[in-house]
Amino acid sequence: MNYATLDRASSPVRIRLNSTAVHVKNVGEPSTARDVEVTYTLAGNLYKVRGASSVLACYNCIVPYLCPEMSETQKEALSYAVKQPLVYVNIQIRNWKAFQNLGVSGIYSPGSYFSSTVLDFPVSIGSYKFPSSPEEPCVVHLLRTPCKPGLTAKEQFKAGRSELLITPYETFERKIREQLGRMLGAGGFDPAGDIQAITVNRWPHGYAYEYNPLFEPQDRPPSERPCVLGRKPFGRISIANSDSDGHAYTNTAIDQAYRAVQEIISSNKAASENA
C-alpha cells in the first residue's frame, strides 16, 4: 500500500496519516468565528491548518485537552465518558473436535478470567473458506472485560485499564491454557498440543461509556445527559464519536457523524444568510 496517495494535493479529500491533533480552536470568538485552526504533529514537527469547520470524532474525554478554550461546564460533560477496557484473544487450535465431542460451539463463564469462549464466525472470503470439518484447524475467540467488582462502572473501567497496563503477556497465556484445559479437557482438548498460536489484543479504551441505570441518576432527563451536553457545537467545532450518544456501536458512531455534519451545514447556511 502506498499511503501517500491518500494525501495528494490534487484530491478533493485528503487523509494525512500519522498526524495527531494537539490543539483545535476557533479563530476569534466562538460565536462569530469563521474558521477553525487545527495544530497537529507529524514526524516530530508541528503544523497548523485552517478550515471553515471541524469535526472532532474522537474519544470525547480528550476533547477538553484539545479545546482548552471551552467552558468548564462543557469540559466536565465531555470528561464524564470513561471507556470500557476490553481484551480480545484469538487462538488457533489444531482442530475443534473437543467442541464437537462436548456438543458446544461457545461457553459463557461469568467470574472466570475470560467470560466468553466461542468458535470463530464461519466466514468465507474469496479463496479463504472457513473450516467445515472438526478435524481442521480453527480460531477460538475469548473475551475479557477487566474490572473490579464493588465499584461504580466508571471506577471499574479505570481499575481495569490500570490492570491492562501492568499485565504481561505471560499471564494471559497461562490463563488461556488453564481455562481452555478446564473447559475442554473432557472433550479431549490438550492445551500443550492443540494450541498453535495466540494473539492478545488489549484495548485500554475500548467501548463507549453507556448510561447504565444501576449507576446513573434516575430523574435525569435524556436532554441533560453529559453526552448530550458535551456534544453541543463549540463555535465552528462539532463533536462526534459514539461517546456522543453513550452507545458503543458502529451505527451510533455513524449517526453522530451525520448529526455533526448537519450541524456544520446548518451553521454555514446561517452564516451565508447573515453575511
| Residues 29-68 pLDDT 10s | 998 898 999 999 999 999 999 999 999 999 999 999 999 9
Class assignment of domain 3-81+212-274? alpha beta
Q: What is the pLDDT of residue 270?
A: 78
Percent of the chain with pLDDT over 90: 85
| Residues 202-255 pLDDT 10s | 999 999 999 988 889 989 999 999 999 999 999 999 999 999 999 999 999 999
Domain range list for the chain: 3-81+212-274, 84-207
**Candidates 3.90.1170.10, 3.90.660.10, 3.40.109.10, 2.40.30.10; correct CATH number of 84-207?**
3.90.660.10
Mean pLDDT score, 144-164: 93
| Residues 172-210 pLDDT 10s | 999 999 999 999 999 999 999 999 999 999 999 999 999
Q: What is the mean pLDDT of the chain?
A: 94
How would DSSP label each residue in the chain?
--GGGGG-TTSSS---TT-EEEEEEESS-TTT---EEEEEEETTEEEEEEES-EEE-S-GGGHHHH-TTS-HHHHHHHTT--PEEEEEEEEEES--HHHHHHT-SEEE-TTSSSSEEEEPP---BTTB----STTS-EEEEEEE----TTS-HHHHHHHHHHHHHH--HHHHHHHHHHHHHHHHGGGT--HHHHEEEEEEEEEEEEEPP---TTTS-TT--GGGSHHHHHTS-BTTEEE-SGGGTT--SHHHHHHHHHHHHHHHHHHHHHHHHH-
